[in-house]
Amino acid sequence: MCGIVAYVGPKEAYPVILKGLKRLEYRGYDSAGVALLSDELKVYKKKGMVADLEESLVGKDLHAHIGIGHTRWATHGEPSDRNAHPHRSASGKLAMIHNGIIENYGQLKQELANKGYSFSSDTDTEVLLHFIDDIRENNHCTLEEAIRIALRRVTGAYVIVILDTESPDTLIAARKGSPLVIGIGKGEHYLASDASPIIEYTKEVVYVNDYELAIIKPDELILKNLGNEKLTPYVQKLDMELAAIEKGGYEHFMLKEIFEQPHTIYDCLRGRLDISSGKILMSGVEQHIEQLKNANRIIMVACGTSWHAGLVAEYIFEELCRIPVEVEYASEFRYRNPVIHKGDVIIAISQSGETADTLVAIEKAKEQGALIFGVLNVVGSSIARTSHAGAYTHAGPEIGVASTKAFTAQLAVLTMIALKLAKEKGTIDEKRYLHLLTELHDIPEKVQVILEQTENIKKIAEKYADARDFLYLGRGYNFPVALEGALKLKEISYIHAEGYPAAEMKHGPIALVDETLPVVFVATRDAYHEKIISNMQEIKARKGMVLAVISEGDETITKMADDVMVVPVCDEIVAPMLNVIPMQLLAYYIGVYKGLNVDKPRNLAKSVTVE
């Protein structure tokens, strides 16, 4: 959802903000804007990408040492110049950017309208800004006080940053439910939705917490709660390099991230998986080992691709640890009054660590006494801070909107947790345990082997790129991979695709099959192999086109399928980490073939911080 950037200090603010917005564009890209304060307050906004804004500003006076910028993902009001941020207050003194949703904006808007306010946009943001401005003008209080009063009335989620002509060297920011990072430079401060716009200037950052207010000058950062009490900022060091957030010669971030997977999976296993001693070292698990291994039930809570990782983990945990597992869409779980007992463990899976539905779901479960364990990629994210314990996936920044390397790293972490618990519980025999450690250890190398067949997958992608619909089928551990393959294709190519358990096909989806329908089977050798071959025959008998992900040496399917994508032989438990790679490449190349913006597909945003 929207990305925000702000700067105050000796540098020219505009280039810093513009570069930051480009780095944050994955969060939202329907419009962008900046507000710069020097002799006067200048606000520039434009529908479209950050590059459109940049072009529209050529020749304009952009000089300022303080400013705010925003890239939008529309919630209230269509993408347009007028709905783009920053918004300006009625007094003309304030400019504000906002990420989140003000849920009671309708009521506030009515109150303001009754007082004679008019609105130049359809956004909830403008309503909040007028509300703050109104409080300050009528109560003759400071902006800080007005913000505090206003935020006590607001329901919803927000990060706001305000520029004020009455305090031309000060930014005021506040957060609830949406992310905000402050970078501390020498006599300067940077604000952003995540660390990517900050990393090239400083590694010292403060993550602002919910219900906190930051008053930021070039050489001063004051943090307060909404009760006006001062807080001590907790300064952390960023563990990230600039190269990690740049394309490094690849045409798209998505392709770069697909190709990074041998390294990211290796980084995830490194220091944890010790083949020589037969141990898995995970401090987050060790600290809560009794609760985890004696869990009555594990509930995986996640959205999108992370939910698919949870589904794979369900199969693995039940198989290896004999603990009942449920996998919940966070968006449903948070609203449906679920039954949670003290011995329950929630595993929250999230790349961004900021997904609003997942965050609220775990907050609710936490209130009811469950242990919250996060499997997360972004260090210091909101879900990380809300969890009791966790394990990071160490996949590095994922910029492409479609999740790729985060998924395989989630699977690596979840598999290690399951193996560690199974070993502790004694639900796995030593031979199988050691075999699976080796299988996990070998995954990065096997991913590399798959990536070497990219040209073949590209050709297959081009052959099927004009199809109107796709069906993805898999069984067992490969069923969630089929779901993930279908999601990737939808996101990147806008082709309608559905994923199903292969046996479920005959209960309805088989009606779709004809000579125009490509059916992708995730059909590597596992316990269901014979059965999925039968399902494939059912498709062939109805003239469907069969594309199959198969294990090396599978002559039977090679003869039967129209096209095959071959992966190295491996144990079925680790197979999803390999089998998803051809799915990612297939979606990527179909999207590229169709000339689409694969890194920033329409209507999507990387970090879904609204419900």
Active site residue ranges: 2, 606
Whose Cβ is closer to ligand M6R: residue 374's or residue 568's?
374
Distance from the first to the final alpha carbon of the chain: 10
- Torsion-angle region of residue 555: left (phi > 0), alpha (psi -120 to 50) or beta? alpha
- Torsion-angle region of residue 84: left (phi > 0), alpha (psi -120 to 50) or beta? beta
CA-to-CA distance for 198 and 191, rounded, in angstroms?
Answer: 8
Q: Minimum distance between the CB of residue 203 and ligand M6R, rounded to whole angstroms?
A: 23
CA-to-CA distance for 400 and 362, rounded, in angstroms?
Answer: 26
* Residue 348 phi, psi (nearest 5): -95, 125
Whose Cβ is closer to ligand M6R: residue 305's or residue 493's?
305
Is the bond preceding residue 79 a cis peptide, omega within 30 degrees?
no
Q: Which of 368, 369, 322, 365 is nearest to 347 (CA)?
A: 365
Whose Cβ is closer to ligand M6R: residue 162's or residue 349's?
349
* Three-state DSSP class for residue 437: helix
Whose Cβ is closer to ligand M6R: residue 222's or residue 604's?
604
Q: Minimum distance between the CB of residue 83 and ligand M6R, rounded to whole angstroms?
A: 23
DSSP H or E stretch at residue 221: strand 220-225
Whose Cβ is closer to ligand M6R: residue 66's or residue 309's?
309
Cβ-proximal residue to ligand M6R, closest one: 304
Annotate 85-150 with three-state secondary structure: CCEECCCCCEEEEEEEEECCHHHHHHHHHHCCCCCCCCCHHHHHHHHHHHHHHHHCCCHHHHHHHH
How many helices and strands, by DSSP H and E, does the chain display? 20, 27
Q: Minimum distance between the CB of residue 1 and ligand M6R, rounded to whole angstroms?
A: 10
CA-to-CA distance for 238 and 241, rounded, in angstroms?
Answer: 9
Q: Minimum distance between the CB of residue 253 and ligand M6R, rounded to whole angstroms?
A: 12
With tokens 């700067």, the residue in question is: 7
Q: Minimum distance between the CB of residue 364 and ligand M6R, rounded to whole angstroms?
A: 16
Q: What contacts 339, CB < 8 A, 6 or more positions away?
A: none
Q: Residues interacting with ligand M6R, by CB under 6 A?
A: 303-306, 350-352, 355, 358, 401-403, 491, 604, 608
CA-to-CA distance for 427 and 436, rounded, in angstroms?
Answer: 14
Q: Minimum distance between the CB of residue 358 and ligand M6R, rounded to whole angstroms?
A: 5
Q: Minimum distance between the CB of residue 498 and ligand M6R, rounded to whole angstroms?
A: 15
Whose Cβ is closer to ligand M6R: residue 131's or residue 588's?
588
Q: Minimum distance between the CB of residue 307 and ligand M6R, rounded to whole angstroms?
A: 7
Which residues are registered as beta bridge partners of 157? 101
The interaxial angle of helices 405-425 and 304-321, nearest 10 deg, is: 20
- Torsion-angle region of residue 156: left (phi > 0), alpha (psi -120 to 50) or beta? left
Whose Cβ is closer to ligand M6R: residue 41's or residue 413's?
413
By residue count, the chain amounts to 611
* 535 close to 505: Cβ distance less than 8 angstroms: yes
Q: What contacts 277, CB < 8 A, 6 or more positions away?
A: none
Q: Which of 317, 278, 316 is nearest to 572 (CA)?
A: 316
Q: Minimum distance between the CB of residue 85 and ligand M6R, rounded to whole angstroms?
A: 22
Whose Cβ is closer to ligand M6R: residue 167's or residue 403's?
403
Whose Cβ is closer to ligand M6R: residue 83's or residue 358's?
358
Give the CA diameter of the chain: 80
Whose Cβ is closer to ligand M6R: residue 83's or residue 377's?
377
Strand 181-184 vs strand 189-192: parallel, antiparallel, or unpaired? antiparallel
Q: Minimum distance between the CB of residue 351 and ligand M6R, rounded to whole angstroms?
A: 4
Measured from the Cβ of residue 221, the count of other Cβ atoms closer than 10 Å reads 15
